[in-house]
Structure 1
């Protein structure tokens, strides 16, 4: 009777390598304990981390942007400075805004601030901004009436400037091990250092 021992051994070896790789990937991605104590032995599952610096570089590539208010002025938005808000599981973006145009005697600098949550888009493996909230649009040197007018454009400006902006895009190799075991990115947690992406089973 013929035994296919080499083929069976090869399959077991491949399975062992995949399991070891997945466990190593999970362990490496877990945040280090803050108090110097060891983490618990149980594993929360595979994680993928994205640093705050990576997020800042991604969003910077989209700016500066210009938005006209026809016949009145135009707003130029500079590169946003991102601030992580772990307590709300959101990110805030504050950017310098320059207002200039026929309705103003000179250009004026101010600030524009919004916040947003995050979602995973499977079609292109991207982490995107969504659930935008307009916070404030301030111009200290403009007349209050003009600032009030600009703030009416604030929510629309927030949508145009940051809605669905790609903050990070995962590579196929980043998801290779997760694909093998039938997982895909799920929940996204904002931490002080960046993002921690958890994995969930793929839908059948």
Structure 2
């Protein structure tokens, strides 16, 4: 991840701990940043200038989800559900990512016709400390419409469609921090968190590791 900005690294006044921290952050690829903000003479002021902010672009997020599509599910012997061509809209107002996709329904019991429609679902993000990943969280279907389906089949599709998306995409990985970077920021008592949806993507900042 790129676009990392001003970090304030505390708790490194002890010389031995500071040396260990500098080595870890250097291994993590943060060495060029250590010269910023007075890092060269960290001393009692702590280590300054280490990255604290990451940005995931709209394209990054869409590319992370795209491999799950196209998706096909058979529901009983009544219909086949196809989810195709994902899209992404950013919704900063409620801090949500809103994905949409085209939907195809092959009705196999009566008319044997194919019906088209669309589905949207919203999700947040969370950090999973055990493996250093950022994952979709709280995936929920929002809108689902299929034109022309017979009544009972339409009801079944409207129940199943959002549920399929929720099951498939809940906890889906959208980014992974490398082990060295994770170790470096862990030494600061921090981890990625505070996910904020912006007009350009998602901003992630370091937050204290929960006790």
Q: Using structure 1 for the length normalisation, give the TM-score.
A: 0.74
Which residue, out of 171, 176, 187, partners 1:169?
Answer: 176
1:171 shift after superposition? 2.3
- Give the whole-Å Cα distance in 1 for the aligned partners of 2:60 and 2:89: 13
Which residue, out of 74, 79, 96, partners 2:102?
Answer: 96
Q: Over residues 165-199 of structure 1, what are the superposed CA-to-partner deviations in whole Å (9 max), with x where a residue is unaligned?
A: 11222223544542342311121111111111111
- Give the whole-Å Cα distance in 2 for the aligned partners of 1:56 and 1:142: 30
Which residue, out of 103, 108, 112, partners 2:115?
Answer: 108
Work out whether residues 80 and 105 of structure 2, in 8 Å CA contact, stay in contact via their aligned partners in 1.
Answer: yes
Structure 1: 5+ residue runs without aligned partners?
1-6, 26-42
How many residues were matched structurally?
178
- Give the whole-Å Cα distance in 2 for the aligned partners of 1:83 and 1:203: 31
**Per the alignment, in what secondary structure is the counterpart of residue 158 of structure 1?**
helix
**1:53/1:174 CA distance change after superposition, 3 Å:** farther
The reply on whether 1:190 has 2:200 as its aligned counterpart is no
Which residue, out of 72, 84, 88, partners 1:66?
Answer: 72
- Give the whole-Å Cα distance in 2 for the aligned partners of 1:156 and 1:75: 12
1:23 shift after superposition? 8.0
**1:126/1:113 CA distance change after superposition, 3 Å:** same
Structure 1 stretches of 4+ moved >6 Å: 17-20
1:22 shift after superposition? 5.5
Aligned to 1:21: 33
Work out whether residues 186 and 198 of structure 1, in 8 Å CA contact, stay in contact via their aligned partners in 2.
Answer: yes
Aligned to 1:158: 165
Counterparts in 2 of 1:11-160, with a 5 A limit? Answer: 11=19, 14=22, 21=33, 46-103=52-109, 104-160=111-167
Aligned to 2:3: none
- Give the whole-Å Cα distance in 2 for the aligned partners of 1:53 and 1:24: 30
Deviates more, 1:168-177 or 1:64-73: 168-177
- Pairwise CA RMSD: 3.2
